[in-house]
Amino acid sequence: MKKNNLLVLSFILFLGCILRLYGINWDQGFHLHPDERMLIMVADRINFFNNLNPDFFNYGSLPIYLLKGITQLLDYLIKTQLANYNGMLIVGRIISTCFDLLTIIFIYHIANILFRKKMISLFSAFFYVIAFFPIQNSHFFVVDVFLTTFTTILIYLLLLYSKSPSIKKTVFIVIIFAAMLATKITAIIFIPIVWLTIIIKSKQKLLDFLTFNFSLLTFHFLFMPYAYLNFQKFLADISLQIKMNSDPYIFPYTLQYVGAVPYLYYLKNILLWGLGPIITILSITGLLSLRAKRSNLFLFLLFYILYFLIVGRSAVKFMRYMLPLYPFFAILAGFGLFYLLSFRGTIVTKNLFRFLATLGITGAVIWTFMFINIYSQPHTRISATNWILNNIPKGSTLATEHWDDGLPLYGGENYKFEELTLYDRPDEETKWQVLNEKLKRTDYIVIASNRLYVPLQKLSDCNKFKSCYPLTAQYYQKLFSGSLGFKEVAEFAVSPLFINDQSADESFTVYDHPKIMVFKKMVQ
């Protein structure tokens, strides 16, 4: 790598690090991301080498082992106190950032293999650095960040293997693929691509194929031993996850995806929020401008298109499921920008394309910094907690919604609580007799996010939906209109600058900047 390219890539990585570490303690230690919270709770009961059984297989064990192993090692070497529930929070997020920076490096190298142009490689790395969704997820200790890194390394290794197959490269592919499976079972999607690459490219097909398959079991066992030692629990957890992804009615928190259109729902959220419109347009430009017919480019496209086709049709559509595709979009955007800058035509056309390219870079950077604004302000749950403690009299009764984080985050001993079990079915008079009695005893209703009121209002038609909530939908309509007898007295919302993102996928807003509303009972 030339010195100038190394300096530019170093700057890009530095920028990526700053964007991912800025606001890393966004929830001030309150563990407000539920998946992150669960992973840390599991890691907290792990201890090297006294207890390695996570007894939890919704996600893979490798990220959990990495978190606990690193914090235990730090405690041992420099006498910290990090290998506990609170200490692992920030460490986990820093590990996520480190993995995402590693993803950036491999994006650079993949683009270099595909296009043999350092400028495209740098553009690709840059667009991944400023894409907001990877930035946001690096603020969480979640397995999708790790899966994205391993997926990016895997396609890099497959591209190298397709150029020059060897047993050594096969072993590296095995290790990374085993790590992927030990991070999230979704990685199994890629096994046909690996098999196909070995069968087509290897000169010693049988040896490489057998090496891959037998070694895969060995390394997977090393990374996730209790998937085998506690196989029944592993099978039960994975079966439940598969069932959830085929039926959005299974859990209350997946009802939001009832009626969501496969593929289009993901694309809409990637376009508007994950990448933003400018990087998306450059990605499309890059895709449409591809002319090369090299086999490595075909492998690259097949690798990611297969993932999108399989995951995109799932019934449950959390935005993070598409995080492994963001390196793909970044590389296409890098090529798209290069295409605009190198377009051959009249002077007017060339200048126009260069102007559009400059405008695109500037706009993409501005877009990202508009979203980074989220981390410049206190978390809405913390702001709401402080308001409640300062403005609601002690001894008041607060109604909170089940399946959501309750408020206030602290000081709850000053209040009485009623839990509104709004997800309960059937949504009939019997349910609402109980809820109405609770509302009679309630002084304030606290809605801590849009987790319930968005999907439950949508599911009002019993002729259309398998699970319906006509009375709950009416309750929300009356509450928001003021006819229920409660008046909104406080609202807490943090948004990107000049943009209202409340229409995004729930998981895009609900962790680090949920909208919170407080309603007070009006005196009759």
The answer to whether residues 416 and 351 belong to one domain is no
* Under 8 Å between Cβ of 279 and 364: yes
CA distance 43 to 68: 6
CA separation for the pair 40, 455 (Å, rounded): 28
Q: Do 271 and 418 sit in the same domain of this protein?
A: no
Q: Which of 374, 399, 428 corresponds to the end of one domain?
A: 374
Q: Which residues contact 255 (CB under 8 A, 6 or more apart)?
A: 248, 249, 423, 455, 456, 459, 467
Residue 449 is given by DSSP the state S
Tokens of 11: 């700057």
How does strand 397-401 pair with strand 444-447?
parallel
Same domain, residue pair 13 and 99: yes
Task: Give every CB contact of residue 371 below 8 A, 6+ residues apart in sequence.
Answer: 132, 135, 136, 496, 499
Task: Looking at the structure, tell me whether residues 370 and 405 fall in a common domain.
Answer: no
Q: Do residues 273 and 324 both lie within one domain?
A: yes
- With beta carbons less than 8 A apart as the criterion, state whether 400 and 444 touch: no
* C-alpha closest to that of 505 among 318, 263, 329, 271: 318
Burial class, 225, CB count within 10 angstroms (exposed 0-12 / middle 13-18 / buried 19+): middle
Q: How many residues does the chain have?
A: 524
Q: What is the dihedral angle through the alpha carbons of 419, 420, 426, 429, rounded to the nearest 10 degrees?
A: 110
Q: Are residues 426 and 286 in the same domain?
A: no
Give 351-413 as a DSSP string: HHHHHHHHHHHHHHHHHHHHHHGGGGS--HHHHHHHHHHHHSPTT-EEEEETTS--S-SS-GG
Cα atoms found within 13 Å of the Cα of residue 78, Cβ hemisphere only: 6
Does residue 454 sit in the same domain as residue 500? yes
Residuewise pLDDT in 10s, the chain (524 residues):
677 889 999 999 999 999 999 999 999 999 999 999 999 999 999 999 899 999 999 999 999 999 999 999 999 999 999 999 999 999 999 999 999 999 999 999 999 999 999 999 999 999 999 999 999 999 999 999 999 999 999 999 999 999 999 999 999 999 999 999 999 999 999 999 999 999 999 888 888 899 899 999 999 999 999 999 999 999 999 999 999 888 999 899 999 999 999 999 999 999 999 999 999 999 999 999 987 656 789 999 999 999 999 999 999 999 999 999 999 999 999 999 999 888 777 777 778 878 888 888 999 999 999 999 999 999 999 999 999 999 999 999 999 999 999 999 999 999 999 999 999 999 999 999 999 999 999 999 999 999 999 999 999 999 999 999 999 999 999 999 999 999 999 999 999 999 999 999 999 999 999 999 999 999 75
Say how far apart CA 454 and CA 325 lie, in whole Å: 27
Start-to-end Cα distance in the chain: 75
Cα 408 off chain centre by:
26
Whether 445 and 386 share a structural domain: yes
- Same domain for 329 and 397: no
HEC per residue, 316-331: CCCHHHHHHHHHHHHH
Number of structural domains in the chain? 2
One domain, residues 337 and 448? no
Residues 360 and 430 in one domain: no
Domain boundary, last residue among 319, 342, 374: 374
SS3 state at 292: coil
Nearest to 440 by CA among 321, 351, 327, 521: 521
Report pLDDT for 1. 62
- Same domain membership, residue 399 and residue 268: no
Residue where one domain finishes, among candidates 374, 390, 415: 374
Domain range enclosing 268:
3-374
Q: 398 - beta bridge partners?
A: 417, 444
